[in-house]
Amino acid sequence: MGETDLAPFLKELVRQVRAQDTYDFWSGRPDADLLEPFIVDKKKAREIPVVGDPDLRTLNRINQFYGAVSLSIEQKTGIMATPVLQLSHEGFGRIVLVCGRLVVVSKNLRDAHRFGFPTLEKLAADGEALVNDAAMWIQKFNDAAQAD
Amino acid sequence: MGETDLAPFLKELVRQVRAQDTYDFWSGRPDADLLEPFIVDKKKAREIPVVGDPDLRTLNRINQFYGAVSLSIEQKTGIMATPVLQLSHEGFGRIVLVCGRLVVVSKNLRDAHRFGFPTLEKLAADGEALVNDAAMWIQKFNDAAQAD
């Protein structure tokens, strides 16, 4: 899969992961390999235990996904979005993306250990939907989004 | 110090701590004892190392303080506020309190290990100031605060 075949949100996610790849782990490997950890289908999910803390790789994936959503929001609307992620030790938590004084994305997380999407298409669609939803909120409450 | 002498914000904070005191640790002890861990003056701060994760007691104090702010906001404005706290391993982080779609409190944290206030008066004043500031934002962007 060449980069040109990817949905816009997936391109942004790939850029996020490659930008953080300070040890050149993904260097020279195709985008599809790099996106593969984001795909967690039912079978794969069942194999991941949900006890204890989500591991660092899972946390990184959550941060990369919402980082890509934040950057896509900025590209679409011109307003910077920053994520605030609260995770408890049991994989429960909440993520909000904030533009100025406005919450543009708000999601409760559970079983964060199993964070992922059943298919690449669903990953792209869910990311895109969050970005569009955020843009709608920014349009609706533009003054709050511009405030600081 | 009797409960009647306490500033309104401190009364709320005391209620928070006592409500979470499931092991009756504070039962029968005066409010002043219970508020004492929130007082971190310069000398006490210097004695707290800022390496590694903030310990569980410090995390509890941060949660109790912002929990009391949230409940005080609800009492003052009738709108429920919920805290979202992101803390990194080095004691850096961010706390936002959210009413509907509105961020009513937003603070960066650093050296969270040393979370506290130089005096009881400063604790009361800072808590009260956050509540008043939140009420101002809710008045300014009421539609966003009512949205979900």
**Statement: residue A138 has pLDDT above 90:** yes
Q: How much is the pLDDT for B32?
A: 93
A-chain residues near B141 (CB < 8 A):
101, 141, 143-144, 147
- Does the beta-carbon distance from B106 to A106 stay under 8 Å? no
Q: What pLDDT does A75 receive? A: 96
pLDDT band (50, 70, 90) for residue A89: confident
Q: How many CB atoms lie within 10 A of CB A92?
A: 14
Q: What angle do CA A125, A129, A133 make, to 5 degrees?
A: 175
Q: How far is B28 from chain A (nearest CA, A)?
A: 31
Residue in B closest to A106 by C-alpha:
B101
Residue B89 has pLDDT above 80, yes or no: no
The Cα-based distances of B76 to A31, A34, A105 in angstroms read: 51, 49, 26
Reply yes or no on whether the pLDDT at A1 is more than 60. Answer: no
Distance CA B129, CA A63 (A): 32
Query: Taking the model in full, what pTM does it have?
Result: 0.92
A87 bridge partner residues: A93
Q: How many CB atoms lie within 10 A of CB A82?
A: 16
Distance (Å) from the C-alpha of residue A94 to the closest C-alpha of chain B?
Answer: 7
The confidence band for B144, taking pLDDT boundaries of 50, 70 and 90, is very high
CA distance B132 to chain A (A): 16
Chain B hits for A63, Cβ within 8 Å: none
pLDDT digits (tens, 9 = 90+) for A17-57: 999 888 888 899 999 999 999 999 999 999 988 887 888 88
Cα pseudo-dihedral B20, B22, B27, B30, rounded to 10: -20
B51 falls in which pLDDT band (50, 70, 90)? confident
Residue A94 reports pLDDT greater than 70: yes
Instruction: Decide if B98 and A106 are in contact by the 8 Å CB cutoff.
Output: yes
Q: Which tops the pLDDT comparison, A82 or A2?
A: A82
CA distances from B31 to B28, B65, B74, B119 (A): 9, 15, 23, 15
C-beta atoms of A144 and B141 within 8 A: yes
Mean pLDDT of B6-28: 92
Q: What is the pLDDT of residue A12?
A: 96
For an interface test with A, the pick among B56, B66, B86 (most A C-beta atoms closer than 10 Å) comes out as B86
Q: Which of A84, A140, A147 minimises the CB distance to B84?
A: A84
**pLDDT (0 to 100) of residue A4:** 59
CATH placement of domain B3-146: 1.10.3100.20
pLDDT band at B4 (very low <50, low <70, confident <90, very high): low
Q: Which of A86, A97, A105, A108 to mutate to test the interface with B (most CBs of B within 10 A)?
A: A86
A103 and B98 in contact by Cβ < 8 A?
yes
Residue B100 has pLDDT above 60, yes or no: yes
ipTM: 0.90
The domains of chain A are located at 3-146
Query: Looking at chain A from residue 84 to 103, which residues have their Cβ under 8 Å from any Cβ of chain B?
Result: 84-86, 94, 96, 98, 100-103
Would the CB atoms of A84 and B102 count as touching at under 8 Å? Answer: no
- Tally A–B CB contacts below 8 A: 48
CB A98 to CB B101 under 8 A? no
